[in-house]
């Protein structure tokens, strides 16, 4: 049973958001996602989706996108991205999944899961600096950053508690936003991640940077870019660390 991850699927079955305006790699991307997913993921596997899953504005609008994902093999752990405007409270989302028979989904939100050789946790994160958040209008940068830090700590604390009974399992952090990218850095997020002894963090959000390194390093922490277009829409398999 394997563990995969891929971020930024940007599905749009019920909304008019063509992604090919962002480059030729996005042409027929939904078909690519479905084909590649079926080629590598088995029913007993788990796929972690850290944000920007659907362009829908409401859960009702997102139904077709969730039905497509549900039809694909494996269990899905979903986190929130900056474009997941359909996101509701955990109770409302679980009720939505139950009502529509979408039992392959679980929410990665203020919690943690034991998945094969790993303990999975994470949160959305936020922009690396205040100037980058112009795409979301006038919002309180520090307030959102601190809220996301609190959610990350909740998730990491849940992971640490699980690790007490699973000491052989590695804690993995999944964010939507990168905590480090090029010359930009979010020291607050990196400090929290490193405080819990995490060695690997996975993130999306970045598009079009196909020549960027897949893995960046920061003081013993490996940061992996897993945006769907960067992965050419092929879910990335996470192997057990050789260090464990």
pLDDT of amino acid 193 = 97
What is the per-residue DSSP string for the chain?
--EEE-B---B-TTS---SGGG-GGGTTHHHHHHHHHHHH--TT-EEEEES--B--SSHHHHHHHHHHHHHSSSEEEEE--TT-TT---HHHHHHHHHHTT-TTEEE-SS-EEEETTEEEEEE----SSGGGGGGG-S--HHHHHHHHHHHHHHHHHHHHHHHHH-TTSEEEEEESS-SEETTEE-HHHHHHHHHTT--EEEE----S-TTS-SEEEETTEEEEE-BTTTTTT-PEEEPPPTT-
For residue 130, pLDDT beyond 80: no
For residue 91, pLDDT beyond 90: yes
Report yes or no on 81 lying in a domain: yes
pLDDT (average), residues 94-99: 98
Report yes or no on 226 lying in a domain: yes
- Give residue 55's pLDDT band: very low, low, confident or very high (50, 70, 90): very high
For residue 133, pLDDT beyond 60: no
- Give residue 137's pLDDT band: very low, low, confident or very high (50, 70, 90): low
For residue 51, pLDDT beyond 70: yes
What is the number of domains present in the chain? 1
Report yes or no on 84 lying in a domain: yes
Judge if pTM exceeds 0.75: yes
pLDDT of amino acid 132 = 54
pLDDT (average), residues 211-223: 95
- Give residue 163's pLDDT band: very low, low, confident or very high (50, 70, 90): very high
User: Which of 12-16, 36-40, 143-147, 210-214 has the lowest average pLDDT?
Assistant: 12-16
- Give residue 17's pLDDT band: very low, low, confident or very high (50, 70, 90): confident
**CATH number for the domain that contains residue 94:** 3.60.21.10
User: Which of 32-36, 156-160, 178-182 has the lowest average pLDDT?
Assistant: 178-182
Q: What is the mean pLDDT of the chain?
A: 93
pLDDT of amino acid 18 = 75
- Give residue 15's pLDDT band: very low, low, confident or very high (50, 70, 90): confident
pLDDT of amino acid 22 = 76
Report yes or no on 243 lying in a domain: no
pLDDT (average), residues 76-101: 96
Report yes or no on 216 lying in a domain: yes
Report yes or no on 217 lying in a domain: yes
Residue-range definition of the domain harbouring residue 60: 3-238
pLDDT (average), residues 172-200: 94
For residue 134, pLDDT beyond 60: no
């Amino acid at each position: 049973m394997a563990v995969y991850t891929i971020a930024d699927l940007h599905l749009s079955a019920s909304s008019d958001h063509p992604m090919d305006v962002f480059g030729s790699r996005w042409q027929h991307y939904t078909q690519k996602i479905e084909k590649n997913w079926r080629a590598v993921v088995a029913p007993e596997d788990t796929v972690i989706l850290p944000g920007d899953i659907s362009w829908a504005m409401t859960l009702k609008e997102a139904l077709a996108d969730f039905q497509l994902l549900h039809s694909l093999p494996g269990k899905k752990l979903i986190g929130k991205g900056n474009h997941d405007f359909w996101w509701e409270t955990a109770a409302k989302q679980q009720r939505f999944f139950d009502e529509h028979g979408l039992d392959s989904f679980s929410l990665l939100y203020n919690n943690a899961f034991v998945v094969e050789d790993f303990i999975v946790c994470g949160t959305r994160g936020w922009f690396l600096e205040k100037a980058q958040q112009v795409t979301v209008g006038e919002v309180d940068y520090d307030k959102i950053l601190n809220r996301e830090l609190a959610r990350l700590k909740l998730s990491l604390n849940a992971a640490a508690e699980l690790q007490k009974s699973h000491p052989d399992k590695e804690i993995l952090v999944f964010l939507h936003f990168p905590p480090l990218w090029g010359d930009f850095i979010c020291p607050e997020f990196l400090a929290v991640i490193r405080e819990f002894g995490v060695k690997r963090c996975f993130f999306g959000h970045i598009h079009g940077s196909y020549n960027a390194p897949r893995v960046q390093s920061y003081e013993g922490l490996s940061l992996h870019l897993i945006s769907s277009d960067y992965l050419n829409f092929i879910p990335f398999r996470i192997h057990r660390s050789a260090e464990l």
